[in-house]
Amino acid sequence: MSGSSDSRRRGFVREILGRSDYAIISEWIEPGSRVLDLGCGDGELLAWLAENKGVQARGIEIDARKVQRAIARGVSVYHGDIDQGLTDYPDESFDYVILSQTLQETRRPLHVLREMLRVGRHAIVAFPNYGHWSVRFSLLLRGRAPVTRCFPYEWYESPNIHFLTIKDFQALAREQGWTVEREIFLSGRYSGRLWANLLAEVAVFLLRK
Amino acid sequence: MIVDTQYVRFDSLPLDCGATLSPVDVAYETYGTLNKERTNAILILHAFSGDAHAAGLSRTDGKPGWWDNMIGPGKAFDTERYFVICSNVLGGCRGTTGPSSINPATGRPYGLSFPVITISDMVRLQKKLVDHLGIERLLAVCGGSMGGMQALEWAVAYPEMVVSAIPIATTARSSAQQIAFNEVGRQAIMADPDWNGGDYYDKQPPARGLAVARMIGHITFMSDESMRVKFGRRLRQKEEFGFDFSVDFEVESYLRYRGSQFVNRFDANSYLYLTKAMDYFDLTNGTGSLVEAFRNVRARFLVISFTSDWLYPSYQSLEIVNALRALNRDVAYCEIPSNYGHDAFLVDIAEQSEIIRGFLASTYRMVSST
């Protein structure tokens, strides 16, 4: 079930809005579907999906300034916290619920993932891989909390509070009985499966219950 | 932009209390031009002390409208794109029929013989105005505070007519605290001997009572911080305390000024009737279920609250938003950071403008593409 059906198992991926994870997400999302983006920022991905794939776009964002920019560009965003912000949505309100580069910032990641799979038929989760060699080397050789391209913050100003590797996520999915419909591992604009947990900076998963 | 207030008379209006008013006059203004397809009309709903003069400069007194910073060419409600309507509410005292209007049965002002009205009565009258203007669908209904209640009522009462609703700094049902402040205001008016059971139109009006009511109102519209910044403990034109009960502090002077100004433009009986309408407002009709109340709503929503608004706190906006989310309706919500308290929707408008402009533009695109 893994990424075998993916045409881009190896090689360069496109970018959308300067992000290769966005390109993958937009490829996976069916045109005209209902999409909820958690931690949607100023709504750039949602606006792109609405414009180019005709999706019904909704978002949740905690930062007032970003919420304002998102609404100003016509995206219906809810100003709130994703740790509890999904409660009011009925089951399967959405076809896809996206969590891009935010899982490691949530207070209750497992709760958020479960909620995503409750309100959405599919969940798309992209996160920076804490198993990447640069993280391992940084800790092993320098003995310092890693500061890398994907984890660019000093420990005292990082919003990241839950660190995970690709293997961690796969193990959790197995434990919880979630189906991994697709998975893609990225290093810059290069995607590949070889030693992904060591070589990939970002992983993107498509899940269902 | 010089504007004229216009008037229209309707034969009768049935009310929630069972009575029927006839005739009923409505004062209204319009800005911009209705497009050929009649898809660009926006209804603005004023708050408690507002009136039909929302934008532009009044031809009669040259004064700007109460939301002139939001409505006009290039502004959030861009009158070069949209046709904007605002009318004085039922029960008001600025041209629409209210307790100070002449009761045709007696030839004298209604006073307390005016029937008690509700927010849905106000909306029913606005519906007549919108019909009169030949408009079948409103691109948006928008208002703050009591105007927000009307916007919610519109979306529920006439779901097929409302494309989008923008309730600002408002609630789906008045809270005990809101009712309490309204009651204190009413008691201040009724305790003034000049009120005379509401019969004062040929005599001295209850100016002191109405001024006190307005002073209380103004306190609830501001925040602790905005009062600290605006007045602090500064003394009014003196270096030392007066050791008497004349004005010592700037804040006293401000409240007295606002109170006395209000008396010149507002009717004490309207104060009673409009606050009562707000107290009665409960979109759930006592059932407590906003989800049920919103079940038939079709509009997309933009809900706005302000961080320092303690009179209409954000949790009340969230009740609206969460009920709409439970129904999977199209709703955007933002709590705008502001120090201005409840007044923010009138004065702290930079971010509000940006949001509303974008929301309207995207709504208009949807309407135009279908």
Mean per-residue pLDDT, A152-174:
96
Mean per-residue pLDDT, A129-140:
95
Which residue from B291, B316, B317, B283 is spatially nearest to B302, judged by alpha carbons?
A: B317
Q: Which residues of A touch B331 (CB under 8 A)?
A: 76, 78
Checking if the pLDDT of A7 tops 50, the result is: no
Which residue from A20, A5, A26 is spatially nearest to A201, judged by alpha carbons?
A: A20
Question: pLDDT grade, residue A90 (50/70/90)?
Answer: very high
Domains and CATH numbers, chain B: 2-174+282-369 (3.40.50.1820), 179-276 (1.10.1740.110)
Closest residue to A90, CB basis, from B302, B328, B330: B328
Distances in Å between the Cα of A104 and the Cα atoms of A56, A163, A166 are 26, 6, 12
Closest residue to A78, CB basis, from B325, B354, B357: B325
State the CB neighbour count (10 A cutoff) for residue A193.
16
Report the C-alpha gap between B312 and B169 in whole angstroms: 6
Closest approach of chain A CAs to the CA of B80, in angstroms?
Answer: 19
How confident is the model over B6-22, as pLDDT tens digits?
999 999 999 999 999 99
B357 to chain A, any CB pair closer than 8 A? The answer is yes
- By C-alpha distance, the chain A residue nearest B319 is A88
Q: What's the confidence (pLDDT) of residue B129? A: 98
Percentage of residues of chain B with pLDDT beyond 70: 100
Domains and CATH numbers, chain A: 3-130+162-208 (3.40.50.150)
Tokens of residue B8, six digits: 């229209």
B132 is catalytic: no
Preferred mutation among B289, B339, B362, B364 to probe A, highest tally of A CBs within 10 A: B362
The verdict on a CB contact (< 8 Å) between B332 and A78 is: yes
B145 is catalytic: yes
Q: What's the confidence (pLDDT) of residue A190? A: 84
- By C-alpha distance, the chain B residue nearest A91 is B326
CA atoms B351, B355, B360, B362: torsion sign: positive
Mean per-residue pLDDT, A43-59:
95
The 3-state DSSP class for residue B9 equals: strand
Percentage of residues of chain A with pLDDT beyond 70: 95
Checking if the pLDDT of A2 tops 50, the result is: no
Question: pLDDT grade, residue A168 (50/70/90)?
Answer: very high
Share the mean pLDDT of chain A: 91
Could you tell me how far CA B312 lies from the centroid of its own chain?
13
Q: What's the confidence (pLDDT) of residue A10? A: 59
Question: pLDDT grade, residue A171 (50/70/90)?
Answer: very high
The verdict on a CB contact (< 8 Å) between A68 and B354 is: yes
Q: Rounded to the nearest 5 degrees, what angle is found at the Cα of B320, between the Cα atoms of B315 and B324?
A: 135
CB contact residues (below 8 A), chain A span 39-58, against chain B:
56, 58
Residues in chain B, pLDDT under 70: 370
Tokens of residue B264, six digits: 């010149």
Percentage of residues of chain A with pLDDT beyond 90: 82
B342 is catalytic: yes
Checking if the pLDDT of A36 tops 50, the result is: yes
Q: What's the confidence (pLDDT) of residue B77? A: 98
Rounded to a whole number of angstroms, the CA Rg of chain A reads 16
